[in-house]
A and B are shown apart, each in its own frame.
Chain A
């Protein structure tokens, strides 16, 4: 039972139909549990008060925003090497989800920082990197939309994803360098990986992160299924047209 079996679109659709209801259920319950617990059942943080609790949205969203790009990168490589259409369509499906997650991360990051900074935005290295990631998502989606032939679009966006990933990593370091040069703004602990939160916050955070992960998975499975059906319909139409022409 190898994973490659699911490169077959029919098998993939069948699997996702079976798995999705449970996936939605667990995703929603995890997120609700994590958020409700985090927002209402944890004490206010010593220094930052109750706005600190935005991390229950911010951290999972930011984490998944990056993971979404990795998943697109992997799917693009699989497409380029093994030419599995399901893989290419999965990357296409994941992009808008990743973009929205990045947007959520940016907005919640701004909300988190506002009471501390006194303004709604500061060019903190991590937030800036997310802003650049948002631009990469925009470009990727725009390229998919601009090209008519689906296979050509899949190829070009895969190449873009690869090259973009290299530049995204470069930009990460460039932005860190860049922010050093500016006047030391208040260094805000807007960290996507800092485990210096105490246990009390840790568990609902983990639950929320798991929930976002499941949500991402569910959304991508669902949207990939839609993309497969769109391709199938177009292919059937094309086949019909060519049969008409042959008569």
Chain B
């Protein structure tokens, strides 16, 4: 398992691995928002938690098909399926690699972008915490979507259509936690609920993802 993780991380950081792409996309989305809604700092600071969450979510979405499609095309998935590693474990590791190379950088970049969006000072901590706890769910659920669409040519758009509705609960609770943190209210309930969804997703989604992948490898 460790070998797979190291390999995926190595591939992620080398040329063509798409490491900076997610971050760049996050930045661009956040920069576009004031152009669309006006530069009124009150408005921006009110919508900042939500906009940052959506930016992070979309940036995660973009890099999802890399998780599986490349390995599918060069035959690695077939070989992994015959390896002693259970497919569920392999997919969990791939989701983890995705989170480390995409989700985690977004979490770290969020405070900087929060400044651009006039996020209130007390909101920074809660934004980062909510993203830290929520982005793993995005990676794991996204892996499921990738497993469903791995055999489909140009399946990226379909992948987004399938995965975005599944992101709704995490988005609702995560953005709400960030928002409450920004106005100084109690973040307990939404944060806990979102963490619960993340925990459940990490535990259960690999089984669904492995089932979908096995179907596609037939």
Contacts and interface: CB of A to CB of B under 8 A. Distances in A.
Do A and B interact directly, with beta carbons closer than 8 Å?
Answer: yes
Interface of A: 132, 135-136, 138-139, 142-143, 146-147, 152, 155-156, 159-160, 162-164, 167, 170-171, 173-175, 177-178, 181
Contact of B190 (A136, A139, A171, A177): A177
A242 B158 CA distance: 33
B218 interface: yes
Given A146-B149, A159-B148, A174 B169 contact: yes
Contacts of B152: 146-147
User: Chain A's interface: helix, strand, loop or mixed, by majority?
Assistant: helix
Which of the listed residues B144, B169, B218 has the most CB atoms from chain A within 10 Å of its own CB? B169
B69 to A, nearest CB: 14
B165 A171 contact: yes
B162 A175 contact: no
Contacts of B215: 152, 155-156, 159
Contacts, number: 75
Contacts of A135: 161, 164-165
B165 A175 contact: no
Given A156-B216, A167-B166, A139 B172 contact: no
Contact of B158 (A142, A152, A174, A181): A142
A192 to B, nearest CB: 20
Contact of A174 (B144, B172, B212): B172
B155 A146 contact: yes
A164 B165 contact: yes
Contacts of B190: 177
Given A156-B216, A174-B193, A177-B173, 14 more contacts: A135-B161, A142-B158, A142-B161, A142-B162, A143-B148, A143-B149, A146-B155, A156-B148, A163-B144, A163-B205, A171-B165, A173-B169, A174-B172, A177-B172
